[in-house]
Chain A
Amino acid sequence: QKEVEQNSGPLSVPEGAIASLNCTYSDRGSQSFFWYRQYSGKSPELIMFIYSNGDKEDGRFTAQLNKASQYVSLLIRDSQPSDSATYLCAVGYSSASKIIFGSGTRLSIRP
């Protein structure tokens, strides 16, 4: 059983709209959750982390965590073509030190 699940996409969103990316995880004891962005041929870059249930906002990005449903999401408001990338969800297991990634969702923002 995969520990971190993401829809591989591609997800196509018009410019200016809200992009919604979803992730589920299998271990109820997980305590740390991360969203990374990876452009083709580049290294992943950390966008946000979230540890508590609820929403966390940073600029155009909002991470949402629901531990009861084992679900974490990333919303991107006012999507720009530069947001086109693969978005990777990562979850911390084993006291948050073992970071496992999902397979990523490809996001395409169409002008």
Chain B
Amino acid sequence: NAGVTQTPKFRILKIGQSMTLQCTQDMNHNYMYWYRQDPGMGLKLIYYSVGAGITDKGEVPNGYNVSRSTTEDFPLRLELAAPSQTSVYFCASMGNTEAFFGQGTRLTVV
């Protein structure tokens, strides 16, 4: 099925651990995004990419890193996890007339 695939769906991390959230899209979209959503809040942009090899910071990039080696993949790396990074993370991709979000990753840092 076409769309945005995020893995994992759930994860519990200990403070100081690292992990990579995976995001893959099969629609050949150039634009991809990572957002976080805290309970009852809107989406905050972490990083975005306008194409392979190009990434840029969003509103809340501290504590995260991204790479975009291919059009399809846009992984998000958390280094030295902190409780403040407990959130739901969404990956999205956008074409000229459409946009799709992944199912989200619920991350808890304890």
Contacts and interface: CB of A to CB of B under 8 A. Distances in A.
A25 interface: no
Contacts of B103: 43
A46 interface: yes
Interface footprint category on B = 20 to 34
Interface in A27-84: 34, 43-46, 49
Nearest to B42: A103
Interface footprint category on A = 10 to 19
Interface of A: 6, 34, 43-46, 49, 88, 90, 94, 97-104
Interface of B: 31, 33, 35, 41-45, 48, 50, 56, 58-59, 90, 92, 94, 97-104
Given A43-B101, A101-B44, 16 more contacts: A6-B42, A43-B102, A44-B90, A46-B98, A88-B43, A97-B31, A97-B48, A97-B50, A97-B56, A98-B45, A99-B33, A99-B94, A100-B45, A101-B35, A101-B43, A104-B42
